[in-house]
Amino acid sequence: MSCVFCSIVAGQAPAIRIHEDDDYLAFLDIRPMVRGHTLIIPKAHHVDLTDTPAPVLAGMMALGQRVALAARASGLHADGSNVVINDGKAAFQSVFHIHLHVAPRRRGDKLRFAAGVLLRRDPAREETGRLLRAALH
């Protein structure tokens, strides 16, 4: 199998499984940003955000919410979570099987996602809005 996440679903690659049902699998990230960093995937292979049906995305988010609640209720003592989908290579997607990151957060944990990000202003906001509205049809 060329997709590592499909290999995990098939039981051919190791993972610390957190939850599994007929459609989804949640497992600990092998390179966690924080303790409890969990990935939520559909068992069916979908490449990225644009390739994944909306009901599948909704199911991923529902399971992500359950994992975030578990991180708060567990001994991880999370105060919140970062919930992220990296969509495409430009957005740092490294495994091309759609996945939702749930990173439990604690006040003062020192993890910073926005470090070094500059405030940007779109000089063509009206045009940007027009382009997006037109593409949404």
Question: Residue 33 CB: number of other CB atoms within 10 A?
Answer: 16
For residues 78 and 71, the answer to whether their CB atoms sit within 8 Å is yes
**DSSP H/E element including 61:** helix 54-73
Return the active site residues: 99
How far, in Å, are 18, 65, 103, 105 from residue 29 at the CA level? 11, 17, 9, 15
